[in-house]
Amino acid sequence: MRILSGIQPTGAPHLGNYFGMMLPAIELQERGEAFYFIADLHALTTVRNGDALRQYVHELALDFLACGLNPERTAFFRQSEVAEVPLLAWVLSTVTPMGLLERCHSFKDKQAKGLPASHGLFSYPVLMAADILVYDSDVVPVGRDQKQHLEVTRDLAIKFNETFGTVFKLPEPLIREDTAVVPGTDGQKMSKSYGNTIPLFGTEAELRKKIFGIKTDCTPLEEPKPVEGSTLLTLYRLVAGEDRAKEMEESFRQGGTGYGEYKKQLFEAVLDYFEPMRRRREELQKQPGLVEDILRKGTEKAREVAKSVILRVRQAVGI
């Protein structure tokens, strides 16, 4: 089973990236042949500084490795280093109905957030389809909010196969029911777009500021605190575990403790949870060239597969 997933390098990874994509991807390494890429071509829709993008890619690779990605089991690489991807994206675009892209909710969502309506943003699902199909992917882990993109990929693969003969296998979604939807400091989904993130590897001062800035209600110290929809409880459950989260929840119900104390407990739990990864990251930083070597080897493995798929595509379409 070949597993395909990618993550955009648009800044420092946060808790939402870790629990929503990175941790599930790391766990899936043991279940099949994993191909994980850093989606720097996708990032071009928002990142407009070349030096910044290169730094984001390097830091993201370092973070992913520190969190447990195993390059011995996983092909880990830059999206842009596989030239077959943009070639396939163009070929797929020639059979992509405009109406299909116009119905994609991500374009409308990003426009609503103020992103410029570029062709790259509009055709994002076609590039994503190329990312998936070029590696003969069997399964793609997706959140429910990304399921539509995989449906578009399958639609394009079917349309291509009907037009040119069977070339692509149809990937299946792997929707994790237990994948966390991580709230940000304002209670919305944690996202760089909202400026509500808590960084994975920020300094203690940065983490303290972010966590103590989490929005809470005005319930007096002595009163019971609302449990339903609590950002503090949700985040604490992720880093402290179910048993300790139940203790905090019971304390919420009893009253007598202020939100400042709960934020302190969350801050300490975040530090404890990520401490082994921080140490691992420091060790990786002491090995110059290691990250680039890992990405280079991952690229070689990815291109070996991509070349065979593109050969089928070329023969089918006549180029």
- Could you state, in order of their start, the residue ranges of all structural domains in the chain? 2-181+288-317, 202-282
**What is the per-residue pLDDT for 104?**
79
**What is the per-residue pLDDT for 118?**
84
- Asked if the model's pLDDT at residue 41 lies above 80, the reply is yes
As a whole number, the mean pLDDT across the chain is: 93
Q: Is 246 a catalytic residue?
A: no
What is d(CA 252, CA 196) in angstroms, rounded to the nearest whole number? 24
**What is the per-residue pLDDT for 148?**
77
Q: Average pLDDT, stretch 105-130?
A: 80
List, in order, residues 6 or more apart from 144 with CB less than 8 Å away. 175
Out of 169, 189, 264, 301, pick the active-site residue.
189
Q: How confident is the model at residue 178 (pLDDT cuts 50, 70, 90)?
A: low
pLDDT digits (tens, 9 = 90+) for 259-306: 999 999 999 999 999 999 999 999 999 998 999 999 999 999 999 999
What is d(CA 81, CA 85) in angstroms, rounded to the nearest whole number? 9
What is d(CA 10, CA 115) in angstroms, rounded to the nearest whole number? 14
User: CATH topology of 2-181+288-317 equal to that of 202-282?
Assistant: no
Tell me which CATH code domain 2-181+288-317 carries. 3.40.50.620
Place of tokens 């996983």: 74
% of residues, the chain, pLDDT over 90: 82
Pairing of strands 172-175, 139-142: parallel
pTM beyond cutoff 0.75: yes
Q: Average pLDDT, stretch 169-196?
A: 85
Q: Is 189 a catalytic residue?
A: yes
Is residue 26 within 8 Å of 69, Cβ to Cβ?
yes
What is d(CA 39, CA 52) in angstroms, rounded to the nearest whole number? 14
Out of 159, 169, 192, 301, pick the active-site residue.
192
Among the listed ranges 115-119, 127-131, 230-234, 270-274, which one has the minimum average pLDDT value?
115-119
Q: Average pLDDT, stretch 32-47?
A: 95
Q: Is 192 a catalytic residue?
A: yes
Tell me which CATH code domain 202-282 carries. 1.10.240.10
**What is the per-residue pLDDT for 251?**
97
Q: Average pLDDT, stretch 108-124?
A: 77
**What is the per-residue pLDDT for 179?**
59
Q: Average pLDDT, stretch 200-217?
A: 96
Place of tokens 């300790």: 244
**What is the per-residue pLDDT for 117?**
76
Higher-confidence residue of 108 and 31: namely 31
How far is CA 49 from each of CA 17, 36, 46, 96, 265, rounded to the nearest angstrom?
22, 24, 9, 30, 38
Number of neighbours of residue 186 by Cβ within 10 angstroms = 14
